[in-house]
Structures are given as C-alpha cells and as structure tokens.
Amino acid sequence: MKKITVYEKPTCTTCRNVSKALMEQGIDFEKVNYYIDHFSKRKLKSLLKKMKMKPVEVIRIKEKIYKELDIKNKNYSDEELVDLMVKHPDLVQRPIIEMGDKAILARPPERIRELFK
C-alpha cells in the first residue's frame, strides 16, 4: 500500500475522527500538523491538483482571518489564495489525506473510502 499522510489540526474533531477511523481499519499513516509543519506553496498546490480542487473550494469561510481579509468581497486569483492559505493555515479546510497521486478533503470523514477505490 502507498504511504498515507493526513494533514490535520490535532484539536479538530473531524481530524480526530479520521485518524480514529484509519486506526480502527488497521491502516498505517503519518500525521502532519500543518500548523507546526506549514504547507509550502508547492505542496499545497500539489495537494489541490491531486484533489482536483481550486483554492476557493478548500477555504474555511467561517474563520476570523477569512473575514479580516475580506476574501468574500475581493477578487483574489488562485495564486493569491494559495499564498494566503500558506500564510494563514486557518484558511485551509481539513483534514486532507494524501496517498500517492491521490488526495481528498476528508469532510465528512466517510470520504476516506474514496482513496481505496
């Protein structure tokens, strides 16, 4: 089986549920707290490509920083959004699970199954 990496915030309930589900299934994986080991721009763009998602699709709109930066009312390019997401990890939806050339945004946690199809 390919290496599985879960990009998470440990205090996030959804992230904990995903980790628990993987452990219960006996799946070996690595956890990366992206608040400590920040995404590089290159890594975040790679994950977005693997998920087949645009930056705007993985932005957390209920975060304080989202409102402070007035993202909703500004016309940021994809590049600018990625830059903001790298600078402000709170903007990134979580958890993101990467396995080889695939990645998913595991919201809800049941989406884990998509990796193994």
Q: Which sequence positions are flagged as catalytic?
A: 12
* Tokens standing for residue 85: 């997401």
Residue with the two structure tokens 């205090």: 11
